[in-house]
Structure 1
Amino acid sequence: MSYALLFPGQGSQEVGMARGLVERSRTARSLFQRADEALGFPLSRIVFEGPEEELRKTEFTQPAILVASLAAFEVLREEMGSDLAPAFLAGHSLGEYSALVASGVLALEDGVRLVHLRGRLMQEAVPLGEGAMAALLGLTADQVRQICAAVDGERVCEAANFNSPGQIVVSGHVDALERAMSLAKEMGAKRALLLNVSAPFHCRLMAPVADRLREAFSSMTWCEPTWPIVTNAWATPQGTVDSLQRALYEQTFSPVRWEESMLHLGTLGVDRFLEVGPGRVLSGLAKKCLKGASTANLGDVGDIEGSLAFLKEGQ
């Protein structure tokens, strides 16, 4: 059976992430230097020194996680060389941009500029405190769709993340989400809670952001991917620049179909997943989505030996 590399999204950040990789690898260190130069501000200082409040700002969080994930990926590539042969790549929301850079579709510089713009535009799209996201736990996808259909209207409430069975996130205006959470509890949800995020991602409130990002696409150099990428918007592998651009555009205001993505990878013979970047969220989701899935993580220097052993087991 084959393996896929998974790249984490927003929420996986922590001050000091990837520090060991940077100390070990000149290539990883150069990624942060290149990112600082491309952005025109010291992203590396925010990542390694904080403060945490600064790192949590969406416009900094997104490029920070992308560069930390790519640092882990480059160390993996240094260690494995031509033996690095994932069948597919996938990334959760922001992580899809990391996957694009890892697969050679975008240069690191274009990737960090694009997600920095994405983060800033997302934050500006809805006044602070007016938009939010909420997790509805223990309901089916159909139940969540029913709730959204009952609540959504002038005030937005849409499904934003189908993460795993029973773990679905909705996005929109705070008052609409509060009504959705009440309905969810009436329908037997185990939990319904607002998430600590600064904007309502992956709903139609983000459509203006998608338009601005698509304008930015034209100023960047795009290449065919080394490995196909399973996109959030369509939950299927894509291998051309045109399809990846369209999927990335739609991803901004469409739900992240992560459970479907994992199930589709399973039908394609993938049963092993290496999460490349900070955190272990996607490893946990993979096991919830696919029975028998094996996972490992490469977030910092202490994970290298275990990750290499994990990939070599299946060869």
Structure 2
Amino acid sequence: MSVVFTFPGQGSQEPHMLRSMPRHPVIAGTLQEASDLLGEDLLLRDTEDALRSTVAVQVALLVSGVAAARALQAEGARADWAAGHSVGAFGAAVIAGSLDFPAALTLVKLRGELMENAFRQGYGMGVVLGIPQQKLENIVARTFSREEPVYLANYNAPDQIVVAGSVQGIERVLATARQEGARKAERLQVSVPSHCRLLEPVAAKLADALKQVPFRKPAIPYASNRTGRTLLDPEAIREDLALGVSHPVRWHEAASLLVERGARLFIEMPPGRVLTNLAKTAFPSIRSVSAADSGLKTCCILANRFKAND
């Protein structure tokens, strides 16, 4: 039975997420490595105020995910696939063995800066739960305007979809969704309209930066959250990391494919449990755990147990 390491995206961040990570020499070493590469103490950059910055959030998510996955590997836990949600794709590429951590750190910092500078105000994201995809697509189509655009951005589950665009457009979509039976429809604490065509200029600049970075064939398959497919071609992974910022996240498709191919244990890297909860709801027959909740030791025991039953 196969194991997947999953890496969460923006929205999972928590104040003090780095300094509250488990005490482990590999985690401490990764935090120090990242601080040295960036020329700043990252433990001073995960406060509530600091995490209002898209750059700080994305860097912290990359570092926490890679640090935890490295610690699990050091303790003998092995994954058969790596999958990341949004910026978590960079952590997945590192742990899959396709991208070096220093390069990923530089790229994620640039990604955050480009996204933050592209839209200073008036844009964001919102989440809708409890209505079918087709119904929400119709609401967005009726609501869309050039002046106040809104797009479908994250297909997290059949009845959990995120929209992105102008704040006014999002608010109209959320209000209509509530009127038409949504269980929940609210704005997210995100100031950038991620995963829609508004970020095509960001994707182009990111692609230029990615061209300067070497990629290798991964040791384990990398699951694309953009296409919902697994990738082994280094150039395909390079392209995926560039285009992911301006294309919808098809997380449910990617997770469904992995389950179809035999994945039976999903281990989510810190922080949070967003991906864990999605998997528990969508795939009740598999095991899904959060390293932040269960701890490294329990995750290692589970990973080894599932691997022993292959």
Q: CA RMSD in A?
A: 1.7
Residue 108 of structure 1: CA displacement? 1.2
- Tell me, yes or no, if structure 1 residue 167 matches structure 2 residue 160: yes
Counterpart of 1:236 in structure 2 is: 229
Counterpart of 2:60 in structure 1 is: 64
Residue 66 of structure 1: CA displacement? 0.7
Residue 256 of structure 1: CA displacement? 0.7
- Tell me, yes or no, if structure 1 residue 13 matches structure 2 residue 13: yes
- Alignment partners' CA distance in 2, 1:136 and 1:20: 31
Residue 213 of structure 1: CA displacement? 0.4
- Tell me, yes or no, if structure 1 residue 310 matches structure 2 residue 302: yes
Q: Which deviations, in whole Å up to 9, do the C-alpha atoms of 1:119-155 show, x marking residues without a partner?
A: 1111111132x10111111111111111121122302
Does the 8 Å CA contact 1:262/1:289 hold for their aligned counterparts?
no
Residue 101 of structure 1: which of 91, 94, 97 is its match? 94
Residue 54 of structure 1: CA displacement? 0.6
Identity in percent: 33
Aligned pairs, how many? 306
What SS does the aligned partner of 2:236 have?
helix
- Alignment partners' CA distance in 1, 2:11 and 2:100: 24
Residue 28 of structure 1: CA displacement? 2.1
Residue 21 of structure 1: CA displacement? 5.1
Residue 172 of structure 1: CA displacement? 0.3
Query: Which ranges in structure 1 are unaligned for 5 or more consecutive residues?
Result: none
Does the 8 Å CA contact 1:148/1:158 hold for their aligned counterparts?
yes
Q: Which amino acid aligns with 2:14?
A: E
Q: Which amino acid aligns with 1:5?
A: F
- Tell me, yes or no, if structure 1 residue 73 matches structure 2 residue 65: no
TM-score (structure 1 length as normaliser)? 0.92
- Comparing 71-80 with 217-226, which one deviates more in the overlay? 217-226
What SS does the aligned partner of 2:9 have?
coil
Q: Could you say if the C-alpha distance between residues 13 and 182 of structure 1 is closer, same or farther in structure 2, counting changes exceeding 3 Å?
A: closer
Counterpart of 1:45 in structure 2 is: 44
- Alignment partners' CA distance in 2, 1:23 and 1:166: 37
- Alignment partners' CA distance in 2, 1:31 and 1:18: 11
Q: Which amino acid aligns with 2:45?
A: I
Q: Which amino acid aligns with 1:42?
A: D
Q: Which deviations, in whole Å up to 9, do the C-alpha atoms of 1:261-308 show, x marking residues without a partner?
A: 1111111111211112211111101112213121122238x7022111
1:154-193 correspondence to structure 2 within 5 Å:
154=146, 155-193=148-186
What SS does the aligned partner of 1:11 have?
coil
Residue 277 of structure 2: which of 284, 292, 295 is its match? 284
Q: Could you say if the C-alpha distance between residues 179 and 15 of structure 1 is closer, same or farther in structure 2, counting changes exceeding 3 Å?
A: closer
Counterpart of 1:88 in structure 2 is: 81
Does the 8 Å CA contact 2:78/2:303 hold for their aligned counterparts?
no
Counterpart of 1:141 in structure 2 is: 133
- Alignment partners' CA distance in 2, 1:127 and 1:276: 30
- Alignment partners' CA distance in 2, 1:4 and 1:22: 20
Does the 8 Å CA contact 1:165/1:288 hold for their aligned counterparts?
no
Residue 188 of structure 2: which of 192, 195, 203 is its match? 195
Q: Which amino acid aligns with 1:247?
A: D
Query: Which ranges in structure 2 are unaligned for 5 or more consecutive residues?
Result: none
- Alignment partners' CA distance in 2, 1:31 and 1:272: 25
Q: Which amino acid aligns with 2:93?
A: L
What SS does the aligned partner of 2:295 have?
helix
- Tell me, yes or no, if structure 1 residue 34 matches structure 2 residue 27: no
- Alignment partners' CA distance in 2, 1:153 and 1:245: 33
Does the 8 Å CA contact 2:153/2:164 hold for their aligned counterparts?
yes
TM-score (structure 2 length as normaliser)? 0.93
